Chains A and B, each alone.
Chain A
Amino acid sequence: MEFKLEAHRIVSISLGKIYSARGQRGGLKLHKNLLVSLVLRSARQVYLSEPGCPPEPPPAASGAADPQPLEHGHRGLLTRRPRAAETRPPPRGGGARRTDGRAAGPRGDTPRPPPAPPARRRRAPAVAGSAAGLRRRRVPAPCPAGREGPRVSGSSSTSPFPARRRHPGCRLPAPAPGAGPALPSRSSPSWPGRRPGEAPRLLPTPGALPPGSILSLESIKFIK
């Protein structure tokens, strides 16, 4: 249970970071937001798992008998398909690419309608409660005011997400005054259900969601 609380907390923090990244000077930091989205995805997987036992792999990957061992799976776990850099077809146009002194426009970008703020995707896990419901999908147009969702104008500096994330049976631990957050100690496993010698099975198996599907990093800056 404490692992779920930990994961829940990390999800909240991560969402807060992504949300506040919009207003940062210098624009969206792709690297940082990518790392945050990876953490968010890992934490979400843990959070959605049944308490006390390792989570079932998503149905899409249920054919896989064993999750990939982590030493080779570090890449495999996070990519649905081989790295784009290595499997992309031979260079377009042949020869060195040349930029003509103007901004190198994004190649291969398909224009997307500005998606709703990330919070709306967050509602799906709380409602569906199962990994099967976490397929990548287009988010509908922004909800009218009054429904659940972050305030997109005049947003305050505090993230609205943690309050909405709470649901019955899951209370955030009250922080002890002056103490840091409850950190998993090194000696105890930070992953629930793992016994010594057993590889953690909580991380998504190949075929599971790639990190980018949680949110479109580039699209965040279109959110007004």
Chain B
Amino acid sequence: MAGVAGGGGGGSNDFQWCFSQVKGAIDEDVAEADIISTVEFNYSGDLLATGDKGGRVVIFQREQENKSRPHSRGEYNVYSTFQSHEPEFDYLKSLEIEEKINKIRWLPQQNAAHFLLSTNDKTIKLWKISERDKRAEGYNLKDEDGRLRDPFRITALRVPILKPMDLMVEASPRRIFANAHTYHINSISVNSDHETYLSADDLRINLWHLEITDRSFNIVDIKPANMEELTEVITAAEFHPHHCNVFVYSSSKGTIRLCDMRSSALCDRHSKFFEEPEDPSSRSFFSEIISSISDVKFSHSGRYMMTRDYLSVKVWDLNMENRPVETYQVHEYLRSKLCSLYENDCIFDKFECCWNGSDSAIMTGSYNNFFRMFDRNTRRDITLEASRESSKPRAILKPRKVCTGGKRKKDEISVDSLDFNKKILHTAWHPMENIIAVAATNNLYIFQDKIN
């Protein structure tokens, strides 16, 4: 349904989002370990992975479409659950290393098994997820329950035969990439060559080969000789989707640097530098914080990239460095509340953003379990809410509106009523269809477009 994906989520009349599924506990009391910290579709969109603060990864698989109900889309059901990272302790620095999964990135599928990279603050792991639906029976040296047989009691030889069994999905760690980051890892990105990937922490970016765990190459290092002169950190990094020599990284100062690994082995000098001049009239105590970029994503085409800062999303043309080509305000009504948001730490929230499959629409999260979609063609935007109240199967999501002042209309919500504990930081869009996954604290909502 590529044509529908082209329509985007911009609220055009012939396009509406419906509730599909919600995963997670309904309890009001949310355990911190259950808070979802990353969401990612794989390349085909059949698998959806989530990571949480407890270090667990849950993978959902889309069911095959039911022939008896041709118009119903496949549902996502749990495919595999495993503990990816455990809490660790750095004895040298007396610091605990959190098990929270910061990012998951899928590898392109090359055989029957699926591979993904998951990372916490310090260690990246390559996981192999494979299915097993056959079991060998009739071993000579061991019993059916695995106990070794007494060799003197074996009087005959037989050939083991394969018998079908209930499908079992196994996740096993195939590579562990450790001890390469002094600071907290914020990004990983698989290269288009399918052989290498990068990992970025606050001050450095390392290049890895997927087969080699005891070595990585440092390609960016912005650590000053004297840490007291530190003025900016790396906040996100990503490889270009097609050019395996190009990557970008964003900074806490609102700048993006594009680097070409062909120009030198060390990419401390950028090839392109993207920065929008600051508007002096909007200067405040918190200007630096709200200009810090929390996420950067290339478009699928590779021509554009999108950055998310605290109040807006910007689309940049890689050919134009001095300003973005499009700017979308996510929740401008918060600009006058920055002091409160600084006090309650919300101003440090790192929102992510994502493109739809055709790059015609972008999506990002906000507070009160609201998330926003912008249609780049029609320039329309829509605010939707991920809530249990609108969780009836195929219920159409009603657009929400925040009232910024004056009289509050019916169905509008005022800024002061927003729940800042309900934040949507992580969202994902199916690579080809109009299916979105939205993480609301410990719940994962799946929405899809209305079936005609």
Interface residues of A (CB under 8 A from B): 6-7, 10, 13, 17, 25-27, 29-32, 34-35, 38-39, 42-43, 46, 69-72, 74-75, 78-81, 83-86, 88, 91, 95-110, 136, 180-181, 183-186, 190-191, 199-200, 203, 210-213, 216-218, 221
Stretch at the interface among B127-135, B279-287, B429-437: B279-287
**Cβ-defined contact, B230 with A34, below 8 A:** yes
Q: Quick check: B268 and A217 within 8 Å, CB to CB?
A: no
Given A96-B219, A104-B218, answer yes or no on A212-B95 (Cβ-Cβ < 8 Å). no
Q: Are B96 and A27 in contact (CB under 8 A)?
A: yes
Q: Let me know if A104 and B180 touch, CB within 8 A.
A: yes
Q: Check B427 for interface membership: any CB of A closer than 8 A.
A: no
Q: Looking at chain B's contact residues, is the secondary structure mostly helix, strand, loop, or mixed? A: loop
Complexed CA–CA distance, A26 and B226 (Å)? 23
> Given A83-B231, A104-B181, A181-B339, is A97 in contact with B95 using a C-beta cutoff of 8 Å?
no
Contact pick for A26, options B96, B217, B224, B284, CB 8 Å:
B96
Contact B218 A85 (CB under 8 A): no
Would B289 and A39 count as touching, CB distance under 8 A?
yes
CA distance A195 to B95 in the complex (A): 49
Instruction: Report the minimal beta-carbon distance from A121 to chain B, rounded to whole angstroms.
Output: 12
- The smallest C-beta distance from A21 to any residue of chain B, in angstroms, reads 11
> Given A35-B289, A80-B229, are A25 and B340 also a contact pair (CB < 8 Å)?
no
A/B interface sample: 12 pairs, CB < 8 A: A27-B93, A31-B202, A32-B348, A70-B278, A84-B223, A97-B266, A98-B215, A99-B179, A103-B179, A103-B180, A110-B226, A190-B284
Q: A83 to nearest B CB, angstroms?
A: 7
Residues of B within 8 A of A98 (CB): 215-218
Structural contact, A91 and B268, CB atoms closer than 8 A: yes
Would you call B204 and A104 a contact (CB within 8 A)? yes
Residues of A within 8 A of B277 (CB): 71-72, 74
Given the interface pairs A38-B288, A43-B285, the reply to whether A221 lies near B233 with Cβ below 8 Å is no
Closest to B345 in A: A17
**How many of chain B's residues have a CB under 8 angstroms from any CB in A?**
74
Which residue of the partner chain, among B95, B206, B215, B292, contacts A221 with CB atoms under 8 Å? Answer: B95
B228 is an interface residue with CB less than 8 A from chain A: yes
Contacts A99-B216, A106-B182; is A211 near B266 (CB within 8 Å)? Answer: no
CA distance A36 to B221 in the complex (A): 22
Which chain B residues lie closer than 8 Å to A34 at the CB level?
A: 230-233, 252
A108 near B184 (CB under 8 angstroms)? Answer: no
**Is chain A's interface secondary structure helix, strand, loop, or mixed overall?**
loop
Are B268 and A88 interface neighbours, CB within 8 A? Answer: yes
Q: Which residues of A contact B28 (CB under 8 A)?
A: none
* B31 part of interface (Cβ distance < 8 Å): no
In the complex with contacts A10-B285, A27-B95, A31-B202, A210-B229 CB distance below 8 A: yes
Chain B 290-330 near chain A by CB (<8 Å), digits 1 or 0? 01100000000000000000000000000000000000000
Within 8 A of A (CB), among B207-229: 207, 213-219, 221-229
Nearest A residue (CB) for B252: A31
- When C-beta atoms are compared, the residue in chain A nearest to B336 turns out to be A186
Contact A26:B218 (CB < 8 A) given known A31-B252, A34-B252: no
Q: How far is the CB of B350 from chain A (nearest CB, A)?
A: 9
Contacts A30-B183, A104-B181, A212-B227 given; indicate if A39 touches B213 (C-beta within 8 A). Answer: no
| Contact indicator B215/A100 (Cβ below 8 Å) | yes
B335 CB within 8 Å of chain A: yes
Known A-B contacts A71-B278, A103-B179; A96 and B230 likewise in contact (beta carbons under 8 Å): no
Q: A26-B97, A183-B336, A186-B335 are in contact. Are A85 and B222 (CB under 8 A)?
A: yes
Q: Are B292 and A88 closer than 8 Å at their CB atoms?
A: no
What is the bound-complex CA distance between A164 and B252, given in angstroms? 32
What A residues does B94 contact at CB under 8 A? 221
- Could you tell me which residues of chain B, from 232 to 282, have a CB within 8 Å of some CB in chain A? 232-233, 235, 252-254, 265-266, 268-269, 277-280
Q: How far is the CA of A200 from the CA of B279 in the complex (A)?
A: 12
Whether B227 pairs with A216 at a CB distance below 8 angstroms is yes
* Nearest A-chain residue to B291, judged by Cβ: A74
Q: In whole angstroms, what is the CA distance A184 to B206 when docked?
A: 43
Q: Is the CB of A86 within 8 A of B269?
A: yes
Chain A nearest Cβ from B189, distance in angstroms: 18
Q: How far is the CA of A184 from the CA of B286 in the complex (A)?
A: 12
Q: State the Cβ distance, B187 to closest chain A Cβ, in Å.
A: 12
